[in-house]
Structures are given as C-alpha cells and as structure tokens.
A and B are shown apart, each in its own frame.
Chain A
Amino acid sequence: MISMARKTVLREPDGFLKVYKHKPGAEKNRTHYCPGCGHGILHKLIAEALEDLDIVDDTIMMSPVGCSVFVYYYFDTGHFQVAHGRAPAVATAVSRANPDSVVISYQGDGDLAAIGGNNILQAANRGENIVVFFVNNAIYGMTGGQMAPTTLPGQKTTTTPYGRDPKTDGYPIKVSELISQLTAPVYVTRTSLHDAANTRKTRAAVRKALQNTRDKKGFSFVEVLCMCPTQWKTKPIDGPQWIIDNMLDVFPLGVYKDITEDAPLTVRPTPVHDSDSVKKALDYKESKAELTRLDVPELFRKTSLRVSGFGGQGIMSTGIALAHLGMEYGYNVSWLPSYGPEMRGGTANCSVKIQDGSIGASEATEPNIIIAMNQPSLEKFEKIMQTGGALLYNSTLIDIEPSRDDVKVYPVPITGMADELGDTRVQSMVSVGAFAAITGLFDPAEINRLMPGLFAGKPEKVIKMNEKAIMAGYNYVKEHFSS
C-alpha cells in the first residue's frame, strides 16, 4: 500500500519533464494530443505515481507506434522508441538487462492487439517483470481512424464505412480477458477514464501495477478505455459518454486477475555487462592469425566497397568474407546488407568498410571500389563511385561498357570462371580473389590459410573448390591488368 501525506496541492507531477525539450517547434509546455484525448490523463496518472513512488529515475519507458509514439517528449525517464507492436519484446530485453529498473510498455490497441498481438502474449506468458499500459480506444488514431482489433461491432471507421461487420471483420479482441487466462501474469485489470470515479480507479490500478514492477512481482497489465474524440467524430466533451454508450458493454471493467499477494519474486539470471565475460560467453577468441599488413595503395587504406547483383549470386557471402578477412588483418570492418523484396532473383547489395580508425556510417555511399555482378548493379553504383576508384564487374553477364571514364575498370568473367571450376556458386570467391588483387589488402595464400575458419563445418571438397576460385580471381586480375 502507498502511504503518503495527503496532498495540499495537485500540480504537474515530477514524472514529467519541466520543459518538453525533445518536442520540436516552439511549444514546449503542451502535449501534442488532440483536445479531449485520454492519453494525457493516463500520462498524468503515471507521472504522478512515478513521483509519489520515487521511481522516476529508475523507470525506462517504451513508446509505441501510434499517437503515443512521443511519450518520450514528456516523461523524465529513460526511453526506447520501439518498432510497431514490439514494445513488450524490447521491454523484455531492457528488464532482463536491468532487473532493478521499472520498465513500462505503453501501447495503444492497434499496436498491442494487432501487429504486436503475439509479442504481448509471449511477454505476458513469460511473466516478464514489466508493466503494460494498454490504451484501448477502439480505433487506430494516428493513422486516420481505421478499424482496430478492438473496434466495436457496427462501429464506422475509415476502413469499415458501413460499420464493423463481425461476419467479415471478426469481433473486438478482449485483451485483458485473454491475458488473464495465462498462468504467469500477476495483475490484469481493465479500467476507464470516462468519469471521475473511474479515473480514480485507473489511478489506483496504475499505482498498484507500478508497485508490482518495482517489487519484482512480475507481469502487470492495465487496460484503460480511453477517449479518441477526433477519430470517433465526436466533440471532445462527448468522448466520455461515447465510452459509456458503446464500450462498457463490450469491454466490462474490473480486475480480471490479481495474484499479487501470493506472487513469488521474479527470478532472472544476473545480467553480465563487462566485456571479458561477454567475450567468454560468446566463445570469442582474440585474432586467430597474426597477419602482417601488406603495403596497401593509398586509395584502399580506407576501403569503401559496394557489392551488388542478383539475389543468389553470393553478394552477401562476398561481403562477409571480405569483412572477415579485414578483421583478420586487424582492420576495423563493417558489413551492411541491403536486400530487395525478394530473396532469390531480386536485387541485393551490401556495403563493406575496411579501414583503420573508427567507422562512422556503415553504408558505402561513396565507394572507392564496387563489385557489380549484373548490369543493373553496374548502372546503379558506378554513378556514386569516387573518382579514381576501382570498378570490378562481371563481364560474363554484363556486355555494356561502364560510362565512367575517371575510374579504373576491371572486367572479369566472374560467373564464367566459376562455371569452369564446376560450380557457379563459387563466383563469390572469384570476386574475393579479384578484390585482393585489385586492392592489395590481402595475400591470397593467407586467405587460403583462413579458409577452414571462414567455411567452418563445410566439407573439404567445398573448401578446396573455394580456394581454387580465390586463386583464379586473383591471378586473372594480376595477368590481365597492370597495377
């Protein structure tokens, strides 16, 4: 129970920032919510409870996607702004990594009950020590009033203009009822903001749920029926009556589950944060090879590479192999994949950086070397190359000439050479060999020595063929192009 002196003044709680400094624009003292929106009321109840329980500095909030995406404008707590529906998953990680924190997942009904439906069930089922505030206003607010999983039968929305028809659109999902059927949650309640008495009950539920989390009691879930006059097309002052007329029958208020008194303390493994223990846990070994750096031309001491082609052409493997090799030579490396919508047959590219010093952006926006495996890739990426860079392209599949005349061009029949070796798939290693020859970064003999590590678990035959492919690519460049 909360014990505190009776308040002599009710004022903006200290759970809020004094000035909403993260909010863009000149208005730093008002919320972005519409007149009559229930979010602000629930915000106030949470902020007040955080202050009264003295846990503002211990709290980390997940802001969802929806109107309350900007929760981080207002609360003086730690924050994560989380992808749509994923707040309970991120909250899980935050809670596990910081077991002494009070972790709040603040979500709307579109976020929680639609795209995040499984996330919330699984987090509840694991009994994560978090509190979820679930704002149910029976509609998608921010996106423009579409039907939500909680939309009422007959309710008109922009996507149910004739009213939600349960025969085709299903029934409103009663999330509190669902969650309360699980074994792990300790406190599940549905309250409402439609009048002063129910707002007081909501206030009590908010406080109880936050205390549960503070006291490591486990998963608490507070569903709050909330006004959305804008998308309900009512006047702000008519919002509360709309809840009474439409929502209370479908979403009965009350405590659905409360085993708080008997709940055992949530037990979690002690998180490990020091880097030595993390390395040990990941079985990380310090650089396996003490490779001597080669004398690399000035241009490639800061290698910025784009590999691009069809999905299935080994684009990603080429990039990963090169990044690993860079690491073996003691460079800092990054690898950033970019997939088209299709895994096979679509376009794919990746960025690789190999350099000394820290790497800022991992995307190669101005590459000094590109590997283009098909014509669209050549056309797309030659445009963004640095002057004087190296353009390696797959002349088996590309029969046009590059348009840039200020770069050094290396047409290499990569696919053809792989086919001659007996397996088209080794074209990625032909590219690796050619890259080594062009940049001078890697010694092909060393690459071969590292092969078993790069292809851990692959049969000897595959490793041998990849070795041959690397040498073929390397030798082709050395024989056909002067350095």
Chain B
Amino acid sequence: MSESRNYPFPEMNHDICKGCGLCVLACPKDVLVISEKLNSKGFHYSVYTGEGCIGCGNCFYGCPEPSAVTVYMKDYVPGEVS
C-alpha cells in the first residue's frame, strides 16, 4: 500500500473478489466500480476509483469475502499494529 494515498480509502484485493458487486451497491459515494478486466479466477473485480472515499465501511461489511476489502480510516497510521 502506498503511503502517499489519501485516507480514508478501501484496499480491494482483486484476486479474492468474486465480482458480485455488493460493495458497489453499498457505497454511498459511488466510488467503487466493477472492472472491465478479469482477475485470475475469471471474475470482473471491483476497484476503487481513487478518490471520494469517506471511510464509512459499508463496502467492508457488505462484502461476503472475508479478505477482499480492507478499509483504512482517516486516522489510520501506516504501519500501526491493528
């Protein structure tokens, strides 16, 4: 993860994603989209457009895959143990 990123932001694990789109549906800011590309498992995965995340966590709680979405909040300190 790049430290130059603006917090908050969601980190989408593209290879875990099954492309169901529930995170896209849950996002109140419409900053998640389904990619045109396929991941290694053959799914169109969801991606963060890169700005506009408010750190609400809806994508995290709406995603059925345990490790597909990680959301770093505004006050997250890179490298902190969590």
Could you give 20 example pairs across A and B, Cβ below 8 Å?
A8-B76, A8-B80, A8-B82, A9-B71, A9-B82, A10-B70, A11-B67, A30-B18, A31-B65, A34-B18, A35-B43, A35-B64, A36-B20, A36-B64, A40-B63, A195-B26, A196-B61, A237-B21, A237-B22, A237-B24
> In the complex, which residues 34-80 of chain B have their Cβ closer than 8 Å to any Cβ of chain A?
41, 43, 56-58, 60-67, 69-73, 75-77, 80
Chain A residue nearest to B26 in the complex (CB):
A196
Q: Are B66 and A44 in contact (CB under 8 A)?
A: yes
Task: Please indicate the chain B residues that have their CB under 8 angstroms from the CB of A381 in the complex.
Answer: none
Q: Are A35 and B66 in contact (CB under 8 A)?
A: no
Q: If A36-B22, A199-B61 touch, does A9 touch B66 (CB 8 Å cutoff)? A: no
From residue A67, how far is it (CB to closest CB) to chain B in Å?
Answer: 12
Task: Please indicate the chain A residues that have their CB under 8 angstroms from the CB of B16 in the complex.
Answer: 29-30
The interface centre, meaning the residue of A10, A11, A74, A195 with most chain B CB atoms within 10 A of its CB, is A10
1/0 contact string of B1-22 vs chain A (CB within 8 Å): 0000000000000001011111
Task: Please indicate the chain A residues that have their CB under 8 angstroms from the CB of B60 in the complex.
Answer: 10
1/0 contact string of A229-245 vs chain B (CB within 8 Å): 10000001101100000
Residue numbers of A with Cβ under 8 A of B are 6-13, 16, 29-31, 33-41, 43-45, 47, 74, 195-196, 199-200, 203, 229, 236-237, 239-240
Interface size class of B (residues with CB under 8 A): 20 to 34
Cα A39 to Cα B18 with chains together (Å): 14
Task: Please indicate the chain A residues that have their CB under 8 angstroms from the CB of B61 in the complex.
Answer: 10, 41, 44-45, 196, 199-200, 203
Q: Are A39 and B62 in contact (CB under 8 A)?
A: no
Task: Please indicate the chain B residues that have their CB under 8 angstroms from the CB of A9 in the complex.
Answer: 70-73, 76, 82
Partner of A236, one of B22, B26, B67: B22
Q: Are B57 and A10 in contact (CB under 8 A)?
A: yes
The 7 A-B pairs of least Cβ separation, nearest first, read A40-B64, A236-B20, A36-B20, A237-B21, A35-B18, A35-B20, A196-B58
Task: Please indicate the chain B residues that have their CB under 8 angstroms from the CB of A31 in the complex.
Answer: 64-66
Task: Please indicate the chain A residues that have their CB under 8 angstroms from the CB of B18 in the complex.
Answer: 30, 34-36, 236
Cα A44 to Cα B23 with chains together (Å): 14
Task: Please indicate the chain B residues that have their CB under 8 angstroms from the CB of A74 in the complex.
Answer: 66
Cα A225 to Cα B63 with chains together (Å): 16
Task: Please indicate the chain B residues that have their CB under 8 angstroms from the CB of A199 in the complex.
Answer: 26, 58, 61-62
Q: Are B19 and A12 in contact (CB under 8 A)?
A: no
Chain A residue nearest to B24 in the complex (CB):
A237
The interface centre, meaning the residue of A30, A36, A39, A239 with most chain B CB atoms within 10 A of its CB, is A30
Task: Please indicate the chain B residues that have their CB under 8 angstroms from the CB of A39 in the complex.
Answer: 64
From residue B61, how far is it (CB to closest CB) to chain A in Å?
Answer: 5
Task: Please indicate the chain B residues that have their CB under 8 angstroms from the CB of A43 in the complex.
Answer: 64, 66
A13-B66, A30-B18 known; 10 new pairs, CB 8 Å cut-off, are A9-B82, A11-B82, A35-B64, A36-B20, A36-B22, A40-B64, A44-B61, A196-B26, A199-B26, A236-B18
Q: Are A7 and B73 in contact (CB under 8 A)?
A: yes
Cα A45 to Cα B56 with chains together (Å): 16
Task: Please indicate the chain B residues that have their CB under 8 angstroms from the CB of A203 in the complex.
Answer: 61
